Structure 1
Amino acid sequence: MSDSLREQLLKAGLVDEKKLRQSRQAGNKHKGGRKRDTGRRAPGADKAREQQAQRSRELNRKQQEAARRKALAAEIGQIVREHRLSRDDADQAYHFPHGDRIRSVHVTAEQRDGLARGRLGVVTFAGGYELLPQQALEKVRERDADRVVVFNEPHHENDTPPAEDDPYAGYEVPDDLMW
């Protein structure tokens, strides 16, 4: 039983010496690994290779875009966590439009004033809303403007004179007006 299969087949008379040599040569050809490029290609092989390269480029572009979005989201999250204002003592509801609905956050009187004067703003974060100071709000706006929900442009009381044809110019807006 120590004989190889080839030798056993030869002794049994099932193969001859010539066939045995041919099978050895055929086996050695496949052991070489890669086939030699004879210069002949199947029709459509170049087209298929180009389509595969195009798919690879598109997949790579999508992965890079996803990584960029993820990095931006991480930056925004860090900004919001560092600069958000506490609303623990909030006792007033501040209403604002977001999309096609009216939303609200609870704020203090000082925070309400800051929102009205443009010193504070509201951003979306982790499925909710957070209050941020103007500088942090600008950083978030640079990275993703869609996250900024409320930001009243800062204005100064006596910078612009009232328009001459404004019918409500003589009326003063009360300080305690709640919207």
Structure 2
Amino acid sequence: MVSLQEQFLKAGLVDKNKVKQAKQEKSRQQKIERRTGTASVDEARLAALETQRKNAERAREHNAQRDAAATQKAITAQITEMVQKNRQSKGAGDIAYHFTHDGKVERIHVSAAVQGHLVAGRLVIVCHGGSTDLVPKTIADKIAERDASLVVRVAKPSSEVDADDPYAAFKIPDDLMW
């Protein structure tokens, strides 16, 4: 095995005087280290270690972002599958049913039976992928665990009425049409 110094000499990158001077400097440094008992700081080695640490940190961040994106994609696929498998019919569509989603009042046309199920809380509206679908409450709860912004809660159970609500004593009739 040929040393690095010999390789540089053969390539003509250094001359014999430079090699001799480098050997003397190295032996001088080792002698000082033996006398004082302290190790010298190798700046190049420290810089290489710092670069290696930064690269590892960057790789960890990149992997975390990639894992988060993959997890989000899997959650979206699960929600889509749950909605498609458990989609309920809206009925004949003779009654306009209004609800709010993302600060906007939306409307779907449902049958009287479906309206009764929505008011009772047995069916829940899910807005996913630009469409509005009806799913059973149990499925909507599973979807809400993954992404609560997709689920539209129509009926608010009476146990969740706010104590500070000035209109709490006035019950809204179930058959109220907007």
Secondary structure at the counterpart of residue 92 of structure 2: coil
Which one of the candidate residues 47, 72, 75 is aligned to 1:69? 72
Tell me the equivalent position of 2:133.
130
| Mapped partners of 2:115, 2:91: distance in 1 | 14
Tell me the equivalent position of 2:123.
120
Secondary structure at the counterpart of residue 111 of structure 1: helix
Secondary structure at the counterpart of residue 80 of structure 1: helix
Give the structure with the larger helix fraction.
2
Which one of the candidate residues 94, 110, 113 is aligned to 2:113? 110
Task: Indicate yes or no: 2:176 matched with 1:177.
Answer: yes
| Paired amino acid for 1:109 | A
| Mapped partners of 1:100, 1:83: distance in 2 | 26
Secondary structure at the counterpart of residue 81 of structure 2: helix
Instruction: Report if aligned partners of 1:122, 1:151 keep a CA contact under 8 Å in 2.
Output: yes
| Mapped partners of 2:43, 2:94: distance in 1 | 77
| Cα gap change, 1:96 to 1:140, in 2 (>3 Å) | same
After TM superposition, list the pairs within 5 Å mapping 1:159-170 onto structure 2: 166=169
What runs of 5+ residues in structure 2 fail to find an aligned partner? 1-6, 12-41, 159-167
Q: Which of the pair has more CA radius of gyration?
A: 1
| Cα gap change, 1:138 to 1:151, in 2 (>3 Å) | farther
Measured on the aligned residues, the alpha-carbon RMSD in Å equals 3.1
| Paired amino acid for 1:100 | G
Q: Percent identity?
A: 37
Secondary structure at the counterpart of residue 124 of structure 2: strand
| Mapped partners of 1:119, 1:100: distance in 2 | 23
Secondary structure at the counterpart of residue 177 of structure 1: coil
| Mapped partners of 2:154, 2:145: distance in 1 | 14
Secondary structure at the counterpart of residue 51 of structure 1: helix
Give the superposition deviation at 1:177: 2.7
What runs of 5+ residues in structure 1 fail to find an aligned partner? 1-21, 27-39, 156-164
Give the superposition deviation at 1:76: 0.7
| Mapped partners of 2:124, 2:81: distance in 1 | 17
Count of aligned residue pairs for this structure pair? 135
After TM superposition, list the pairs within 5 Å mapping 1:66-105 onto structure 2: 66-87=69-90, 89-105=92-108
Displacement over 4 Å in runs of 4+: none
